[in-house]
Amino acid sequence: MSEHEFDVLVIGAGPGGYVAAIRAAQLGLRTACVERTPTLGGTCLNVGCIPSKALLHTSEEYAHAKTKLARHGVKVSGVELDLDAMMAHKDKVVGALTKGVAGLLENNDVTHLQGHARLTGPGTVAIEGPEPRTVTAGAVVIATGSVSAPLPGVDVDEERIVTSTGALALPEVPARMAVIGAGYIGLEMGSVWSRLGAKVTVIEFLDRVLPGMDSEVATQLHRLLRRQKIAFKLGSKVTGAERTNEGVRLSMEPVAGGDSTTLDVDVVLVAVGRRPNTEGLGLDDLGIALDGQGRIEVNERFETSVPGVYAIGDVIAGPMLAHKAEEEGIAVAEIIAGGSGHVNHATIPGVVYTAPEVATVGQTEEALDDAGVEYTVGRFPFAANGRARAMSVTDGFVKVLADAETDRVLGVHIVGHDAGTLIAEAVTIMEFGGSAEDIARTCHAHPSLNEAVKEAALAVAGRAIHV
């Protein structure tokens, strides 16, 4: 590869891109990473996973201080929200982490190029930015992520009608907020602003929340969020949004047919999904094939239809999740270096950071039913877990799905406190092809929330101890 300036050029410095670049450099490849925005870390660090978790955590602490602590015998008075300070904390976290990525690239001898990259040939990339230049590389990795999907008739201005980016930086708590889409973003950001005092209404096209996730878990979360005073209009289609003096008037109608209604709110969050960010990359000119959903087509080695050009993360098929992109970043670097990188897409966890959290890995009951797979279900409620009782986090349950014949774990679905941490055990077991009995016979610390996972695994064979 020595005739090229770099062995590898990664386009995009999100969790997929910067991880791919670091791994490639670790493997001895001369690596550059080009990013169009001044800060590194992509959507996840700048306007996604990280700032949303800062707001989710702080708003939950606020809600606890107002309601929960007193029940535990801790009296607090004069609890007040300082939204500016809350936002400043979020910005500080984002600033530290994005600078941290710059430091990681530097420490690993990855050349950081700033500007918009466009492929002009298989190993040639033109970079428009502060210092325009053309770079050649033996391998190019496209890791440009995704952008918010638009909703016809609802034009985003990032003030009154916002995407997740605007919803992370509202200057004040809106009295009334509409959230269009009951997916990851809608439920997380709806929770934040609801806890801070907004009257939140979630409008969802389908007749359920969190489509694609296990429906029992989704139904339970829906119930718990309604208890938190979040209103839902399921099976509803937003047909338009009109700016009024006070805010926005949304028009909607039932998907099943019926009269159109309106909803007056101060702020609307559009969270109807994301789409691959492939524009302006020169893909057409190079003949890089896309699939029917606008994603870059790759083979199992992350190679596009053009030799030497690879793609990972949100621009290719699979869940649009930062950790999925990271795994693909590692794998593609190892493949380019002549190794055998691999990602097990069957064991990618998904976590929704509501309160309680939802965490899931593997197959849902619906998917197993559709595939005609015989399976056994073990369930365990957090209400029967001692640690959960001590912490007053008794909502939810763990569900383990195991192959009826072999007992191999096929899926684990959790709604409950810290489910996003608890799911790691299930992911590990599934990665090793383990059985429900493997979990059940593994010693779990007492008292811990993890015991609920063990008890659900015991329940697969009808031998849970504490229910």
For position 235 contacting ligand NAI by CB under 6 A, the verdict is: no
Question: What is the nearest approach in angstroms of ligand NAI to the Cβ of residue 424?
Answer: 14
| C-beta closer to ligand NAI: residue 272 or 459 | 272
| C-beta closer to ligand NAI: residue 350 or 381 | 350
CA 120/CA 153 separation, integer angstroms: 36
> What residues form DSSP beta bridges with 267?
177
For position 274 contacting ligand NAI by CB under 6 A, the verdict is: yes
> Whose CB is nearest to ligand NAI?
183
For position 320 contacting ligand NAI by CB under 6 A, the verdict is: yes
Structure tokens given for 4 = 């090229």
- Nearest by Cα to 252 from 236, 272, 268: 236
| C-beta closer to ligand NAI: residue 43 or 363 | 43
For position 56 contacting ligand NAI by CB under 6 A, the verdict is: no
CA 60/CA 194 separation, integer angstroms: 10
Question: What is the nearest approach in angstroms of ligand NAI to the Cβ of residue 212?
Answer: 8
For position 318 contacting ligand NAI by CB under 6 A, the verdict is: no
For position 439 contacting ligand NAI by CB under 6 A, the verdict is: no
Piece in contact with ligand NAI (CB under 6 A), picked from 26-34, 345-353, 379-387, 405-413: 345-353
| C-beta closer to ligand NAI: residue 151 or 331 | 151
- Nearest by Cα to 311 from 321, 320, 301: 301
For position 188 contacting ligand NAI by CB under 6 A, the verdict is: yes
C-alpha distances in Å from residue 342, one per residue of 27, 258, 334: 16, 49, 9
Active site residues: 446
DSSP collapsed to 3 states, 397-458: EEEEEEECCCCEEEEEEEEECCHHHHHHHHHHHHHCCCEHHHHHCCCCCCCCCCHHHHHHHH
Choosing from 66, 89, 237, 408, the residue that interacts with ligand NAI (CB under 6 A) is 237
Q: Which residues of 349-358 are buried (b: 16+ CB within 10 A; e: fewer)?
A: bbbbbbbbbb
For position 186 contacting ligand NAI by CB under 6 A, the verdict is: yes
C-alpha distances in Å from residue 197, one per residue of 56, 75, 174, 280: 14, 21, 8, 41
For position 321 contacting ligand NAI by CB under 6 A, the verdict is: yes
| C-beta closer to ligand NAI: residue 206 or 231 | 206
Residue 67 CB: number of other CB atoms within 10 A?
10
Piece in contact with ligand NAI (CB under 6 A), picked from 8-16, 175-183, 213-221, 292-300: 175-183
- Nearest by Cα to 51 from 228, 189, 199: 189
The residues in 133-162 that bind ligand NAI, with binding defined as CB under 6 A, are: 151
| C-beta closer to ligand NAI: residue 162 or 351 | 351
For position 449 contacting ligand NAI by CB under 6 A, the verdict is: no
DSSP collapsed to 3 states, 76-109: CCCCCCCHHHHHHHHHHHHHHHHHHHHHHHHHCC
Residues contributing to the site for ligand NAI (CB under 6 A)? 151, 180-186, 188, 203-206, 211, 237-238, 271-274, 319-321, 351-353
